[in-house]
Amino acid sequence: MQSIAEKWRKIDVAIVGVGSPPEYYSDKSQFDPVALRRSYEDNPEKTVGDIGARRFNIQGQFLKNDYNERIMGIDEEGLKSAKNVLSIAAGHHKVLSIIGALRLNIITHFVTDESTAKTILSLV
């Protein structure tokens, strides 16, 4: 009998969300994407977002830490082996998370709104 992890490596389509770190939720009125981007770029171990609860940084690397090792879900290799990975995310509070997620090079199809797209393009 195949393990679930082995089956993940054979999926055709994965639909994933892009999560943002807790500090985004504290005070959205003070949101400054340029300052936040700098703080994340200065600290490569800082979580900028997550996919499937697996945390990654602004450079587009899944973090190698105890938290990610404990996650019971599809892993980086499972996502990379999927033929199509669809993600839908929007909002100013997700901009840096989206940038990090796209830099993972696992998302093949991405959907967002115009405002979010413009902010992302202004930062990359």
* Side-chain half-sphere exposure of 35, counting CA atoms within 13 A: 4
The two tokens of residue 54 are 């697996």
| pLDDT at residue 40 greater than cutoff 70 | no
> pTM of the prediction?
0.81
Please report the pLDDT score of residue 111 as a whole number: 98
Residue 1 pLDDT class (50, 70, 90 cuts): very low
CATH class for the domain made up of 4-123: alpha beta
Radius of gyration of the chain (CA): 15
Q: SS3 of 123, please? A: helix
For the chain, list the strands marked E by DSSP.
13-16, 49-51, 54-56, 84-88, 109-111
- Rounded CA gap, 18 and 89, in Å? 6
User: Where do the structural domains in the chain lie, given as residue ranges?
Assistant: 4-123
